[in-house]
Amino acid sequence: MYLKSLLLFSLVLFFTGIASAGDETQINQMIKDSSDTVQLEGKTYLIENPIQMKSGVTLQGVAGKTTFLLKENTNWEKWVPLIDGNSLKNVRITGITFDMNSDKQQVPYAEGYHNVMYLKSCSDVEIDSCTFINGRGDGARFKSCTNVTVHDNTARRLGHDGIFVVDCRDVNIYNNKVTTRKNAGIRDWNSVNVRIHENSIDAQLDGKGGYAGIQIEYSKYFENPDIEISNNVLTKTWGPGAQLIAYTKGLEINKGVLIKQNEFLQCGQSNNIVDTGGISIKGLDGAEIIDNVGDGCYNAFVYVSSGGDGTLIKGNTIKNTKPHIEKALAGTGAGIVNSAGSTLEVSGNSFSNNANGDTYNVN
């Protein structure tokens, strides 16, 4: 009877594809022994220690079938990710679902714990066809990396940003689907030559909807950061669809951010974020906002709370703007709201059916 029960239990494990805790030991050995592609099975791997990537290796799963499940109550130190990599070249991760098991973890949200992947000082990196879910930290996080491509991924129920690049150069982020829960969908901090395009971003909308769909942030000066945000669809974001932040040395930037041909649909669903809406400007000067559609945004399509001098707002379709859901802000419900009194260049836009008129405090 004991042997029959043991056999039945083994068969259940086999057919459900659930592996045992510590599967990262086998995966790390496969990576260490490989100089090309590590092909994973279409099953669930239970992870209790980080996986260390290596230069020249592709870690490849079976899309929709290969899952890395973080063991419950995993108490790693801050900044220890599930996928780790330092000073690597030519790395690809593809076809894996990363389930960070957030409901069964004890570490804090949004404080550097349990990032799915954290790659530092790496070059020629590609992350594609992966799913990041149920996390207490970031999905894909990069610092001081060059030539980074992140495409065709899905992220939801995370504890911080979906995709986050810090001090990086030559970044291409496209065709990802992100639902925010705690912070931004896609975020850049002090990176140069970044393209963010053809992504679809929305929010969880249960009171834990996160913040901006796309967040661009500078605390360092660059003569031209060369950021282009184009052809994205941002729908019912919790905070602003796109947010442009500058402070300290970043306040000296006066060009290099282009937002064009995006759709901002009913963005700004939050009842407490002051600068919610389509596009928020908090400190950054000289952005170009061209040929976008803002339809049904709350508070404003463009809301300038500080900085913003030299911003060009041209050729946009701005319609059906509604007041802030809860806060009685000056000008709320107008298509363009200039609370900072900044010098803006506004021309060639199409306005219709905005609750508080086309513009507020705009000359």
**274: DSSP letter:** T
| Residue 329 falls inside a structural domain | yes
Q: Could you write out the three-class secondary structure of 52-70?
A: ECCCCCEEECCCCCCEEEE
Mean pLDDT, rounded, for 15-38: 80
Number of structural domains in the chain: 1
Tell me which residue range forms the domain holding 315: 161-360
Model confidence pLDDT, tens digit, residues 200-214: 999 998 877 899 999
pLDDT in tens, 63-84: 999 999 999 999 999 999 999 9
The position carrying tokens 């260490």 is 32
pTM for the model? 0.93
Q: Taking 50 as the threshold, does the pLDDT of residue 195 lie above it?
A: yes
Name the band, by pLDDT with cuts 50, 70 and 90, for residue 1: very low
Residue 193 CA to residue 240 CA, distance in Å, equals: 23
CA–CA distance, 84 with 97 (Å, rounded to integer): 16
Residues facing 44 on adjacent strands = 18, 67
Count CB neighbours of 263 within 10 A.
Answer: 18
**Residue 178 resides in a domain:** yes
Residue 3, classified by CB atoms within 10 Å of its CB into exposed (0-12), middle (13-18) or buried (19+), is exposed
Q: Evaluate whether residue 255 is within a structural domain.
A: yes
The stretch 9-14 carries a mean pLDDT of: 35
Average pLDDT across the chain, whole number: 93
**Amino acid (1-letter code) at residue 316:** N
CA 336 vs CA 41, 231, 240, 241, 288: distances in Å: 52, 21, 13, 14, 14
Residue 79 lies in a domain: no
Domain membership of residue 137 (yes or no) is: no
Question: How many whole angstroms from its chain centre is CA 109?
Answer: 16
* 3-state class (DSSP) for residue 88: coil
The answer to whether residue 124 sits within a structural domain is no
Q: What is the pLDDT of residues 245-262, one digit of tens each?
A: 999 999 999 999 999 999
Asked whether the predicted pLDDT for residue 275 surpasses 70, the reply is: yes
- 261 Cβ contact partners less than 8 Å away, ≥ 6 residues apart: 230, 231, 290, 291, 292
Mean pLDDT to the nearest integer, 222-248: 98
Is residue 119 in a domain? no
271 belongs to a structural domain? yes
